[in-house]
Copies of this chain bind each other. A is one copy, B any other.
Amino acid sequence: MATDIEIARAAKMKPITEIGARLGIPDESLEPYGRFKAKIAMDWINQQADKEDGKLILVTAINPTPAGEGKTTTSVGLNDGLNRIGKNSIVCLREPSLGPCFGVKGGAAGGGYAQVVPMEDINLHFTGDFHAITSAHNLLSAMIDNHIYWGNALEIDTRRITWRRVLDMNDRALRQIVNSLGGVSNGYPRETGFDITVASEIMAILCLATSIEDLEESIGNIIIGYRRDKTAVRARDINAHGAMTVLLKSAIQPNLVQTLENNPAFIHGGPFANIAHGCNSVTATKTALKLADYVVTEAGFGADLGAEKFFDIKCRKADLKPSAAVIVATVRALKMNGGVAKADLGKEDVEAVKKGVVNLLRHIENVKQFGVPAVVAINNFITDTEAEVQAIKEAVAAVGSEAFVCTHWANGSAGTEELAKRVVEIAESGQSQFAPLYPSDMPLFEKINTIATRIYRADEAIADSSVRNQLHQWEKDGFGHLPICMAKTQYSFTTDPTKLGAPSHHTVPVREVRLAAGAGFIVAICGDIMTMPGLPKVPSAEHIRLENGQIEGLF
């Protein structure tokens, strides 16, 4: 079979205006970026407000393993499948980050015959959204140090500035720096550092914003640091929110591209899935719901992190009502959950599948706790055997759900037809009774404990009194209604990445809590969370080059 990049290059893309026309978007409301990418005009989007919403389908997954699950690929495949069976469907995905492209991972635009195109553009600068976020973030940073330089009228405690800088780059050397060295004209030296752009609170804000006004309001709310008396200083106090919003004027507009089968795809926003909520933008999802009967969207990592945040943060904020969820699993990943090493995945091992499938079953149960019916997509690999697949199907059936073998990677939409039909049945039955896991007025630590016990199946969440006191203080300060954004390892239900399967009776220690007053959530950090990745010994960048006008080595 051809490689991903060969398939992508052989794609017969249609002009983006044609894809837009299918969605009813007039030419003049489509702002082209090249011939195969476009942003949709906000004015036009706002005019669609009275239209009825389509049905929202979440694609989530088991806990990720080195074997790979294929959540994006399956989202694209399901979208093509829905269109194949006559439904007007749009897939909403996250934008890939530029930084990791030059590290170990290749592109993030699906795979095989289930890809979004133009793949190279999507993986590089795309429509400049992440660059705009980097600029807006760093403008605030510059204005903070500038404010201090010119007299610090706001009396910011330079030791308590929480706002760092960002670059869309894997650069460990910038994690921790001392800035403003070199004398009087460069300001007051202080410790700070850089995160990768996807970890910027601006990214989370942009992805949760429901309008440009909401975006500006949320940016103004950002807490950039504290005074000596510990009162908060906000971006609004620095007068930065207006200019930052101007920088994000185009970035908030959803990006339209297409799948290999010429079906519409919105690729917009890409916040971290640990210290942020890990979903594509609310503007993209809500716009898609106005334009299509079906909208397929994905959440970050496994369902314990991704789906929970999708439901409790994104759906809560944007008032979304998902109709069904698809949980992606692979025979290989379940075998790893069942104790098989990566090197041995090529051999049939039905017992390992039966042992590892508990991870999948737990995610099914969890999604149902939100009132959302769930089915399973078994993302097919050539090495999968009939007996292994059967073991998954039986286990899934035993908990009242269904699993479908999906061969979209090899066959495109033909490989997801069965899944698509079942998703439509479920969605049209109206059986989804979505509700968030916890009410907004629950005390903050109780929210954390609810996620830990009901989703992670821990006995309890624990935290030092300093963490609990901080949460109490925030409740007093008026932040008690915010949802929780859990930052823990994606590899396990527990905080120990080596504990695969479906562990119970562990504890979830909350090491630190952070207030994202702009984005509107409280981050509970459980374990080491890296917000600026490094490059590996031989970065993939060393092999990336142009050859005869084509990009080699990127994927």
| A residues neighboring B (CB under 8 Å) | 28, 31-35, 42-43, 98, 102, 124-125, 128, 131-132, 134-135, 138-139, 141-143, 145-146, 149-151, 165, 167-182, 185-187, 191, 193, 212, 216, 239-243, 245-247, 249-250, 534-535, 537, 539, 541-546, 549, 551, 553-554
Contact = CB atoms under 8 A, between A and B. Distances in A.
A244 to B, nearest CB: 8
Contact of A181 (B177, B186, B542): B177
B243 A102 contact: yes
Contacts of A539: 143, 146
20 contacts: A32-B35, A33-B33, A43-B549, A102-B243, A124-B246, A125-B250, A128-B131, A131-B134, A138-B171, A141-B173, A142-B173, A143-B542, A146-B534, A149-B172, A149-B534, A175-B186, A212-B546, A242-B542, A242-B543, A249-B551
Contacts of A546: 212, 216, 242, 245-246, 249
B537 A239 contact: no
Contacts of A216: 545-546
A185 B150 CA distance: 35
Tallying the copies of this chain within the complex gives 2
A142 B242 contact: no
Contacts of A182: 175-176, 193
Nearest to A140: B541
B247 A124 contact: yes
Contacts of A145: 171-173
Contacts of A98: 135
Nearest to A144: B173
B169 A187 contact: no
Given A132-B125, A245-B546, A544-B242, A179 B173 contact: yes
A246 B554 contact: yes
